[in-house]
Structure 1
Amino acid sequence: MSSLFEIAKRIVYALSLVLAVIVFNFLLIHMAPGDPAEVIAGEMGGTTEEIVASIRQSYGLDQPLLTQLWLYLKQVAGGDLGYSYYFNRPVTDLILQRLPATLLLVISALLLAIIIGTALGVVSARRPRGFLSHFVTVLALVGFSAPVFWTGIMLLLLFASYLSFFPVGGMYSMTLEGGFGVKALDVLHHLVLPMATLSIIYVAQYSRLARASTLDVLGADYIRTARAKGLSEAVVVYKHALRNAVLPVVTIAGLQFSQLLSGAVLVETVFNWPGLGRLAFESILRRDYPTILGILFFSAFVVVIANLLTDLAYRLIDPRIKAGASS
């Protein structure tokens, strides 16, 4: 019974959070400078007062702000995210069209950062004063200090423009012919630089976090007991210590999923990656309110789900949490 109550409480908190995000984003965007009616009229080639007023009336922009908010909340509650001013398509269709590209980029970058960062942190913790430990420290400083768009531009100039190892931008080659395997390899070829750009800063953070966590775990009593039993150092570190040392990395990775999505906006813009980040950038430039709000709503929903999955993964990794919750 207590478990069901806990689940219900989490769902209520999640729905309240999503509602607050929707209201805040709506008010913030509509108070920002710029008029979408004037942008649309300018794209049509005429910006007279009559045309602008007609466009405002067509999209309901002439109504009071609170009325627009109420109508939008009812619309979202019915599963409708609206109709794009610029693309002339339902926002839901636009998001679903761009979603696979963003998920491929974000999930691959997150997995790469967790694997490499954890590996570097654990290995460096075995020799805290060794060369690798100092290398991880320097890597963390460089990774934290370098803006993601600057890193992307540097990688683009070096590996795409100068060395020509990777494509300059896009997700696939337009003129490529072949089967599924050929096209999949082409997508992976285009993915390398954006994935590396997005994951570098998190590799630095997770390596430092995993190093500190591993050092703390290696000083625990059960680790000393395992060593006293004559177990090899590799078994002690990678079988007994790693499972507990990776817990903070998993937690932070789940909580930082929203940062990955926001970072994807810059990365997708630099590499012309056709995902939600690129769509958000284009929509902001054109004052496409429904598309911007739809992307922000979807991002908030994904972050809430990611946090719940992180909590579930935390419980699976550490059985003591499950036991503590049931007692």
Structure 2
Amino acid sequence: MSVLGGRLASAATLLLCVIVLNFLMIHVAPGDPAAVIAGEMGGVSEEILAEIRRGYGLDQPLHVQLLRYLGKVATGDLGYSYYYNVPVIDLILERLGPTLLLLFTGLTFAIVVGVLLGVMSALKPDGLLSHAITVISLVGYSAPVFWTGMMLIIVFGAVLPIFPISNMRDITVFGGPLVRALDVAHHLVLPAFTLGVIYMAQYSRLCRASMLEVLKSDYVRTARAKGLSDRVIIGKHALRNAILPVITIAGLQLGQILSGSVLVETVFNWPGLGTLAYESVLRRDYPTLLGILSFSAVMVILINMLTDIVYRLVDPRIR
């Protein structure tokens, strides 16, 4: 319990620091939300601008705004969107489902395919297949995520139009839940592949290096001496230990994956938190952007804690 309490206290302190830093960085950045709101109205006088600033509390000193915002966040209130004029938490919950679907589909693809390629490469490290996997991994890791997305749009939008290149659903598709689910899965292929390919390359190289080290260990040699099959040795003994670094890195990289999803969602017009964050930056919608950043920080902290739990389940030595 003391360990759990210490981790919760550390998580709360980290979250507070993230919220404060995000608030300060966003509010000192160039741009006036009141002017953006006025622009949406077609332009207004200075008196109306002053009234807008007063209505949203933008006329208060920065430290007063910060203290008010922290007080609201402590009660679970992330404020109201300047642009949509609805609670920020409602906007986040509305966009959360598509982002989680994209995030975990891309992460699952990266882990499964990366581990599979890493194991195949480690079994015959000097073979032709291993060299081919190495080249594929280097190319996947080197290509920027937005470039990969645009190349896929060109290929599957013009040359081989077999996958949708934007949005999450086709409004012309009607049917039951299965039909709608298949339509979403069809739209998900390119964004999930774009998001997962760069991390797949990393996990492939990491799993290969870990697998090569594990295969040289004493307990693997003992298992071979007992006459166990290669499938049992690799699947039950070697892979279970070789996959630990992949699990650790996957948990720690969640923040990077979330930032990558912003680019992917923007490229493919995926209706998630990334697209909402991008639109909020353009509109100087501070509460929405702060809410997304704070919510993302909570997700990263929780996933890191869950990673520790999974790590303990996979490796009994930690327990």
Which TM-score band (shorter chain)?
A: over 0.9
1:168 Cα deviation (Å)?
Answer: 2.1
Deviation of 1:160 after TM superposition, in Å, equals 2.4
Cα deviation for residue 237 of structure 1 reads 1.3
Q: How many residue pairs get matched?
A: 319
Q: Which runs of 5+ in 2 are unaligned?
A: none
Partner Cα distance (2:44, 2:140) in 1: 47
Asked whether the equivalents of residues 161 and 168 of structure 1 are also in contact (C-alpha less than 8 Å), the reply is no
- Cα pair 2:165 2:190 within 8 Å, conserved: no
Question: Structure 1 runs of 4+ off > 3 angstroms?
Answer: none
Counterpart residue number, 1:129:
126
Q: How far off is 1:77 after superposition?
A: 0.2
Aligned twin of 2:113: 116
Residue 48 (structure 1) shift: 2.5
Matched, 1:201 2:190: no
Equivalent pair of 2:169/2:184 in contact (CA under 8 Å):
yes
Give the match for residue 59 of structure 2.
Answer: 62
Structure 1 stretch displaced more, 14-23 or 222-231: 222-231
The equivalent residue for 2:260 is 263
Q: Could you tell me the TM-score, scaled by structure 2's length?
A: 0.99
Alignment of 1:146-225 (within 5 A): 146-225=143-222
3-state SS, counterpart of residue 320 of structure 1 = coil
Q: Following the alignment from structure 1 to structure 2, what is the Cα–Cα distance between the partners of residues 252 and 99?
A: 23
Deviation of residue 234 (structure 1)? 2.2
Q: Are 2:224 and 1:227 aligned?
A: yes
State how far apart, in whole Å, the 1-side matches of 2:216 and 2:80 are: 58
Structure 1 residues 7-22: aligned runs within 5 Å: 7-22=4-19
Instruction: State percent identity of aligned pairs.
Output: 64
TM-aligned CA deviation for residue 187 of structure 1: 0.3
CA distance in 2, matches of 1:263, 1:145: 14
Work out which of the residue numbers 298, 313, 316 in structure 2 matches 1:316: 313
Q: Which one is further off, 63-72 or 234-243?
A: 234-243
Aligned mates of 1:299, 1:14 — CA distance in 2: 13
1:215 shift after superposition: 0.3
Equivalent position of 1:42 in the other structure? 39
Aligned-residue offset at 1:53: 1.1
Query: C-alpha distance in 1, partners of 2:311/2:201?
Result: 22
- Aligned mates of 1:150, 1:314 — CA distance in 2: 34
Matched residue SS, 1:34? coil
For 1:10, the aligned partner's letter is R
| 1:325 matched residue in structure 2 | none
- 2:296 is matched with 299
CA shift, 1:15, in A, is 0.2
TM-score (norm 1): 0.96
Distance in 2, Cα, partners of 1:177 & 1:308: 41
Report SS of the residue matched to 2:318.
Answer: helix
Aligned equivalents of 1:67, 1:142: Cα separation in 2: 49
Residue 231 of structure 1 deviates from its aligned partner by 1.4
Deviation at 1:66, TM superposition (A): 0.2
Residue 217 of structure 1 and its aligned partner are, at CA, apart by 0.4
Structure 1 runs not aligned, ≥5 long? 323-327
The one-letter code matched in structure 2 to 1:94 is: L
Can you list the C-alpha shifts for 1:124-168, whole angstroms capped at 9, x where unaligned? Answer: 100000122112221222122111000000011101232110112
RMSD, aligned CA:
0.8
| Aligned residue identity for 1:235 | V
Supply the AA of the counterpart residue of 1:229.
K
1:99 aligns with 2:82: no
In the aligned structure 1, how far is the partner of 2:147 from the partner of 2:62?
Answer: 38
The SS at the match of 2:79 is: coil
Q: What are the superposed Cα offsets for residues 161-217 of structure 1, whole Å, 9 maximum, x if unpaired?
A: 321101120000012111111110000000000000000001100000000000010
